Amino acid sequence: MHLASIFKHSTRSTEWLPCVQFPYPRSQVSLTYFALKARTEEYRPASQGRHLIYGYPRPREWLNAYAFEHKIGLDDNGQLKWDAGTSAAAHIASRLDFRVAIKAVVLKGESYLCIAFASNDPRDGLPRRLPKEERERIVKSFQEVLGTTGQPTVCDYDAQ
């Protein structure tokens, strides 16, 4: 797995925000995980409205358990590395046969990484709407990979 660290500049401050990208050509996913500071409204102009994504949010603990089970993001001693959760999310995305985006979201005050397959923001490169048959196929693929029977969730990307 190739890991490249880059930095993005905040639009309203002089602070640089760290960002990591994991390219997975098979699933066409580009994982972008910003520091918590980037989750403020200073990163996205308020004029764009609410940024909604549709997918499967997973808590850090669940992703760490997935990483440990699949031996992803482990150091030489078999312990989880600090980024094992993001590596697990990228691994899940690589097992899917369609484009997804992995975004940090907050639901009911808790942090999650959401593996999304639809978005209302064109910069995510995801469809805004999907035909029913395509949506059902994607949901079934997610359920097989995640081992769940749950349905996707709409997440407000800008919610704090």
Q: Smallest Cα–Cα separation from 145: which of 83, 73, 95, 82?
A: 95
Q: What is the tens place of the pLDDT at every residue in 19-70?
A: 444 444 444 444 443 333 344 334 444 435 788 899 999 998 999 899 888 8
Please report which confidence band the pLDDT of residue 145 belongs to, taking 50, 70 and 90 as the band edges: very high
Specify the 3-state DSSP secondary structure of 121: coil
- Please give the pLDDT value at position 48: 57
Phi, psi of 85 (to 5 degrees): -65, -45
- Please give the pLDDT value at position 142: 94
The two three-digit tokens of residue 119, written as one number: 């978005």
**Domain limits of the chain?**
4-156
Residue pair 83/22 in contact by the 8 Å Cβ criterion: no
Token pair 């097992």 in the structure block, residue:
95
- What distances in angstroms separate CA 7 from CA 19, 61, 114, one per listed residue? 5, 26, 21
Rounded to the nearest integer, the mean pLDDT of the chain is 74
Q: What is the tens place of the pLDDT at every residue in 72-120?
A: 877 778 777 778 888 888 899 899 989 999 999 988 888 899 999 999 9
d(C-alpha 99, C-alpha 83), whole Å: 22
Close Cβ partners of 141 (under 8 Å, ≥ 6 residues apart): 96, 97, 98
pTM of the model: 0.66
Q: What is the tens place of the pLDDT at every residue in 105-117?
A: 988 888 899 999 9
The two three-digit tokens of residue 96, written as one number: 């899917």
Specify the 3-state DSSP secondary structure of 64: helix
Residue 126 scores a pLDDT above 80: yes
- Please give the pLDDT value at position 158: 67
Taking residues 143-147, what's their average pLDDT?
Answer: 93
- Please give the pLDDT value at position 11: 43
Residue 153 scores a pLDDT above 80: yes
